[in-house]
Amino acid sequence: MNNKPWISIFGANSDIAIEVARIYASNGYNLYLLSRNVSSLQRIKADLQIRFEVNVEIYHFDATDFKKNSEIYDILPTKPIGVIIAFGVMFDQKSTQDSIKLIELTVETNFLGSITILETIAKDFEARKEGFIVGISSVAGERGRQSNYIYGSTKGAFSIYLEGLRHRLYKSNVRVITVKPGFVNTKMTENLKLPFILTASPVYVAKKIFYAVEKNKKTVYIKSIWRYIMLTIKLIPDFLFNRTSL
């Protein structure tokens, strides 16, 4: 196998993450895959090793286990050159409204989970003066909408967190990339009817992420048309906005 740098993917069972892993592996990078479902990680590992002949290591990781989040990074034998935060949960808004459990899970996974793991990593990257951090946020975090604001607010908070982290790490030559997908065809959205032209495939998202890192981008919308859609949505004045069913 090889001595190429390592990339670390948190939430590596995500359909988007699987494709991100494939792109990095096809470019020769070795991979740490971390997620809850280890038997599924084992299959992804086998696939990546067979296809691309790179090193792959897997670890059990639960983002809501905050105490462990700092330790897990210390375990990784060779520290990675880049990390991708891909885990996330999205429950139907109506059910979430009525359930403390789902509210907790949404906030703890999407926001607290991301922060607790990233602070440890930021410290290491800052000291090494190298590395990149990709956070998969969402366009749902751009404006609170009645149909999706609990999930949306965790993503909004995550986007602001990434913005601050980017600011802090700028001096240390560490890049922070905020990825804002619109709709993506994954198991998260399996039961939703998504409009074809606004929906990206996980492969497309992965390519865009790889490209954004190479090209030193700060924020990417996927597909790019979402930048303008969200801009429009943000520009609608409140008195009109509140009458919509967005």
Partner 1 sequence: MKISAWGRYPYISSEQVQLDNSSLWSEPFIVNGNLRSYGDAALSRKHLNTLKYNKFLNFDYISGLLTCDAGILLSEVIEVFLPRGFFPLVVPGTKLITIGGALACDIHGKNHHSYGCFSNSVDSFKLLLPNNQILFCNRNINTEYFHATCGGMGLTGIILEISFYLKKINSKWINQKSIKNKNLIETFDSFEYYNQIPYSVAWIDCLARKKNLGRSILMVGDFCNDGDLSFKQPKKLNVPFNFPSFILNSFSVKLFNNFYYRKFPAGVSENKVLYEDFFFPLDSIQNWNRIYGKNGFIQFQFILPKEVSFIGLESILNKISNSQLGSFLAVLKLYGKSNDNWLSFPIEGYSLALDFKMSSDLPNFIEKLTDEVIEFGGRIYLAKDALLKKEQFDISYEKGNEFREFRIKNQLHKYFSSLQSQRIGI
Beta-carbon contacts of 225 under 8 Å, excluding residues fewer than 6 positions away, are 182, 198
Distance (Å, whole) CA 171 – CA 209:
23
138 contact choice in ligand NAP, partner 1, none (CB below 5 to 8 Å, kind-dependent): ligand NAP
Answer for which of 6, 29, 52, 61 binds ligand NAP (CB under 6 A) is: 61
Residue 151 in tokens: 């999930």
Tell me whether residue 43 or residue 128 sits nearer to ligand NAP (CB atom): 43
Answer for which of 44, 63, 86, 89 binds partner 1 (CB under 8 A) is: 44
7 scored as a contact of partner 1 (CB under 8 A): no
The nearest distance, CB 110 to ligand NAP, in angstroms, is 7
Considering only residues 186 to 215 of the shown chain, the ones binding partner 1 according to CB under 8 A are 187, 190
Q: Which amino acid is at 236?
A: I
Distance (Å, whole) CA 121 – CA 234:
33
| Crossing angle of helices 15-26 and 202-214, rounded to 10° | 50
Tell me whether residue 112 or residue 188 sits nearer to partner 1 (CB atom): 188
Residue 78 in tokens: 């060779």
Q: Which stretch binds partner 1 (CB under 8 A): 44-52, 60-68, 70-78, 80-88?
A: 44-52
The nearest distance, CB 183 to partner 1, in angstroms, is 16
Tell me whether residue 36 or residue 217 sits nearer to ligand NAP (CB atom): 36
If we measure between CA atoms, which residue out of 32, 36, 42 comes closest to residue 14? 36
Q: Which DSSP state fits 191? A: T
Beta-carbon contacts of 9 under 8 Å, excluding residues fewer than 6 positions away, are 17, 20, 21, 31, 32, 33, 34, 83, 84, 86
Tell me whether residue 47 or residue 119 sits nearer to partner 1 (CB atom): 47
The nearest distance, CB 72 to partner 1, in angstroms, is 25
Helix or strand (DSSP H, E) at 240:
helix 238-241
Residue 82 in tokens: 């880049």
Write the interaction track for partner 1 spanning residues 74-113; mark x where CB under 8 A is met and - where it is not: ----------------------------------------
Distance (Å, whole) CA 224 – CA 212:
12
Q: Which stretch binds ligand NAP (CB under 6 A): 11-19, 167-175, 208-216, 225-233?
A: 11-19
Phi, psi of 241 (to 5 degrees): -55, -45
Answer for which of 1, 3, 39, 50 binds partner 1 (CB under 8 A) is: 50
Residues that bind ligand NAP (CB under 6 A): 11, 13-16, 35-37, 40, 61-64, 86-90, 109, 113, 136, 138, 181, 183-184, 186-189
